[in-house]
Structure 1
Amino acid sequence: MKILIPTAKELNLQANTVPTKCLSETSQAVLDSLATYTKQDLAELYGISFERAEEEYQRIQALKQQKAEAYPALDLFDGLMYRNIKRQGLSPLEKDYLEQHLLITSSLYGVIPAYSAISPHRLDFMMKVKVAGKSLKQHWKVMFDAAVEGEEVLLSLLSSEFETVFSKAVRKKMITFKFLEDRGGQLKIHSTISKKARGQFLTALLENQIDDLATIGQLSFAGFHFREDLSSEKEYVFAKKG
């Protein structure tokens, strides 16, 4: 069983650094393309201020020169989902669970284990970067599929942006999740609640050492309970009171 999560824009640069690793050829091709962008190009590409683009430019140059600091991927990203994942005070069993089951999907590094060494970057699959004439999704599709080849159970906590990098054949195997909140008798989806819930759900998986589908429906976490009546074979629904 593998659990798939996306990267995040927010970064925790206070995390402990680790030794850097050489980029794969697929990652290097993306970096080479990014390195052709000027600071102004990056500001337009990312839709950010020139000052923030200058910071990103320096990160890209540091990667290009193999001088960029590296961090464990799970500790580097610090978006709302990540802040709701248990990452500190892990037992040996819990850390082993993350190492064995968790994969992080990145537009620069591909599909990587939870604690892979990566350097800070802002790139995601919404960016219109071309690599040898291909979009980022086209560039990574074969490698993304290969990373989960042979896996029978894929739990997707991905946004559609990351999920659609995988081929249709792989996406058909994925179990997706919906997290709802009951507000005045109406079940609603809220972006902030969903992001938090993804992290809380992953925490429940690792704390309970879940490694099969049969026991997922027995989980309760952060006020969420499984709703079998709203779920299907490929989509599991959890809901909580607002």
Structure 2
Amino acid sequence: MMIYMSCAKTMAARNRQEVPFTTTPYFEKEAHENALHMAQFSSEELARLLHINNKLAAENVLRYHEFLSPESLSLPALLAYTGIVFKRLNPKDFTHEDWQYAQQHLFITSFLYGLLRPLDLIKPYRLEGDVRLAEHGNRTMFEYWRPLLTDYFIAEIQKQGGLLINLASAEMKDLFQWKEVTQAVQVVTPEFMVYKNGKPTTVVVYAKMCRGEMTRFILKNRIEDVEALKSFEWEGFTFDEALSREGHMFFTLR
């Protein structure tokens, strides 16, 4: 089983947690080139490109200018991102065995780095999938990554048994030739819904929290098949057989 999840917009400047080892991102060369391309933009241009305020834009101008400096800090990917999903995944108590298992069974998407493993060392950045770079023929980052990631992604999933648990946001499919992925491996997408007025509704903050909690559940318990995944429970969310269908597992809070 392989899990894949989305990166977060927010990132830590430092983290003192010890990890058993670190690795180099598979697409580090491409990430360095992307960072160099992003370093050409002014604060005002970054604010427009990334849909962020001037303060965040200035911070990211500095990040990109320092990106290739050997003195700029790198962190393992799973400790670098600080969004809701990663807070609920909460790797603070991971054992060495947990980290090793996560390294083999978890991918994190990244518009700068493509795909990351938990212990891949990365630097802080901000990038969006709709950014178009002249150096990439004015393609979006989605379009840039698609031919680079698809075969690699499929091959890595197949190494782990050919089952992908899709805990990423919907837009991340656009990083891949998704039809090719679904033809090559089994994809199961957990959905998290809250019943309101008798109808199941997606509440984004709960969905993000559940994605993090489910990722933690899989990694900590070494879950390897869909049937075992049905036992996931968190804060009242439980597997809903009635709503679930092929390729989609629903967990609901009533």
- TM-score with structure 2 setting the length: 0.86
Rounded Cα–Cα distance in structure 2 between residues aligned with 1:108 and 1:25: 10
The residue aligned with 1:202 is: 215
SS in 1 for 2:93: coil
Match of residue 164, structure 2, among 154, 158, 167:
154
Is the contact between residue 108 and residue 118 of structure 2 (CA under 8 Å) also seen in structure 1? yes
What letter corresponds to residue 235 of structure 2 in structure 1?
Answer: A
How do 1:1-242 and structure 2 match up within 5 A?
A: 1-16=1-16, 24-133=28-137, 134-150=139-155, 151=158, 152-167=162-177, 168-171=179-182, 173-241=186-254
- Counterpart secondary structure, 1:196: helix
Give the letter aligned to residue 166 of structure 2.
Answer: S
Shift of residue 214 of structure 1? 2.5
- What are the superposed Cα offsets for residues 182-209 of structure 1, whole Å, 9 maximum, x if unpaired? 2343321111111111011112212221
Shift of the 135–85 alpha-carbon distance from structure 1 to 2, 3 Å rule, reads same
Q: Rate the CA distance shift 1:187–1:112 in 2: closer, same or farther, 3 A.
A: same
| Residues 1:20 and 1:224: Cα distance change in structure 2 (over 3 Å) | closer
Gaps of 5+ in 1: none
Aligned equivalents of 2:113 and 2:171: distance in 1?
A: 16
Q: Hey, what's the Cα distance between the residues in 1 that align with 2:143 and 2:250?
A: 31
Question: Which is further off, 77-86 or 170-179?
Answer: 170-179
Structure 1 residue 126: Cα displacement: 3.2
Are the counterparts in 2 of residues 200 and 222 from structure 1 also a CA contact under 8 Å? no
Moved more, 73-82 or 26-35: 26-35
Question: C-alpha separation between the residues in 2 aligned to 1:66 and 1:127?
Answer: 27
Deviation at 1:7, TM superposition (A): 0.8
Identity %: 24
Q: Against the structure 1 CA distance between its residues 142 and 67, is the aligned structure 2 distance closer, same or farther, given a 3 Å change threshold?
A: farther
Q: Distance in 1 between matches of 2:4 and 2:58?
A: 31
Structure 1 residues 65, 91: closer, same or farther in 2, change over 3 A?
closer
CA distance in 2, matches of 1:139, 1:35: 18
Q: Are the equivalent residues in 2 in contact too, given 1:104–1:111 (CA < 8 A)?
A: yes
CA RMSD in angstroms, aligned pairs only: 2.2
Give the deviation of 1:144 after TM superposition. Answer: 1.6
Q: For structure 1, which segment, 70-79 or 95-104, has the greater mean C-alpha deviation from structure 2 after superposition?
A: 95-104
Query: Where do 5+ consecutive residues of structure 2 fail to align?
Result: none
1:99 Cα offset (Å): 1.5
SS state at 2:36 partner: helix
Helix, strand or coil for the counterpart of 1:230?
Answer: coil
